[in-house]
Chains A and B, each alone.
Chain A
């Protein structure tokens, strides 16, 4: 490799960062709009929320991870605002330390945004992974109201909906596997980063999840349609700048293509070198 190409390879990430930084100065929807796309996933979530009773208790299984929370954060916060506007009380529970840290941060943000403290229920951190989920299911189904692990702060009240914010080891799949069979009446919706879409989408098709928001496009479509009313300060309507996402994905495709091309060249050279003279 020549000195010039080595220098170019070194500077390429910096150039990409500068281009992405420059494009992120543009308005979120400059030239391109996510919400113009297929709205079926967003509609499914809206329909699930429309079916809630008056003043519902919504259980939030809050276990995103730090590495991907940035992707779902605008949608999650808009969902908070949407639920609060519908008169819901939000009960947070986390089964991973990372999820608990993010839950504490979000609860504090809601309190700073003047959300009535009576509408926020902090069920804390529940250890035990799958065993913890089973104890939640036992409390919700009334099978074991005195569990050592179960969330006692629910005080026998049943949530009308569980929304799982995923990204960590304990996510929608675990909820579907452990809670849904034990509490079949509890509907479960999920918000996950797009990397988990292939894992979670089958549960929507199989009817085990009521709704799923798993891509930036679905998130943007939901946010555009959500009525947040008095809770606009809680919502986060802007997602990542669409032009930046497009440029970044094009750069990734070019990199992958360059890798494949260079591999093909190497194979061709190797084949030629191996030919008899």
Chain B
């Protein structure tokens, strides 16, 4: 049973009706399906607001500031940035740009730094062809290095290129298409299992045919 539906019969009925509405969209019933999308958007917004108030603003900002107003300079700075963001329509553009710049700059710094240290460098090292214990394992490293190089060459644009580079770039683009095809297969599998889960819920939890 889905943990979202719980054992409560009302919750099960609401979940079943919503599932039928969404499946109705698949069969051409768009109006009620549209309402269900609005309901989902509203619920998501409400959840985000409740989380922000109950799990962030009160316990992590308001309470520490009330408990120790002089000892939490970091929170005062954060609060100042939040107030500045909220006041964007009424303050000069130069002042309004400060919180947005801090937000974008810090996110970019964390994301880019992490991508380089955690993904780019280790994965480049892992894709280097090297001798392994078995011949098959060695061939796999050679294959992965070759595919990596071909895909990188596939991104070369502009300038005059020889036939060899053109051929390698075309092979790289085909390698990417194969990868995208594989990813599409996984996507279909994921969505299919979600559909089956809903059908199993309708048949089992709601109608009680399959236990």
Q: Tell whether, in the assembled complex, residue A25 and residue B44 are in contact, meaning their CB atoms are under 8 Å apart.
A: no
B172 to chain A, nearest CB (A): 17
Interface residues of A in 56-110 (CB under 8 A from B): 67-68, 70-71, 73, 97-98, 100-102, 105-106, 108-109
A219 to chain B, nearest CB (A): 10
Q: Write the B19-40 contact mask toward A (1 if CB under 8 angstroms, else 0).
A: 0000100111000000000000
Given B61, B114, B119, B196, which contacts A244 in the complex, CB threshold below 8 Å?
A: B196
The residue on B at minimum CB distance from A109 is: B3
What CA separation (Å) do A13 and B192 show in the bound complex?
A: 13
Contact flag A97-B26 (CB < 8 Å), given A24-B210, A68-B190, A206-B122: no
Q: Write the A233-260 contact mask toward B (1 if CB under 8 angstroms, else 0).
A: 0000000110011001100100000000
Interface residues of B in 61-79 (CB under 8 A from A): 61, 64, 72, 74-75, 78
Q: B209 — which chain A residues lie within 8 A by C-beta?
A: 25
> Is A116 positioned at the interface, with any CB of B under 8 Å from its CB?
no
> Is A129 positioned at the interface, with any CB of B under 8 Å from its CB?
yes
The residue on B at minimum CB distance from A178 is: B114
What interface size band does chain B fall in? 35 or more
- Write 28 A-B pairs (CB below 8 A) sorted by A numbering: A13-B26, A14-B27, A17-B195, A20-B196, A21-B203, A24-B200, A25-B203, A25-B210, A73-B2, A97-B47, A97-B48, A105-B4, A108-B3, A109-B3, A124-B55, A125-B51, A127-B52, A131-B110, A148-B61, A174-B114, A176-B118, A180-B118, A193-B190, A194-B189, A195-B187, A202-B123, A215-B189, A245-B193
The 3 closest A-B pairs by CB, nearest first: A177-B118, A177-B114, A70-B197
Which of A's residues lie within 8 Å of B, judged by CB? 10, 13-14, 17, 20-21, 24-25, 67-68, 70-71, 73, 97-98, 100-102, 105-106, 108-109, 124-125, 127, 129-131, 134, 148-149, 173-174, 176-178, 180-181, 193-195, 197-198, 202, 205-206, 208, 215-216, 240-241, 244-245, 248-249, 252
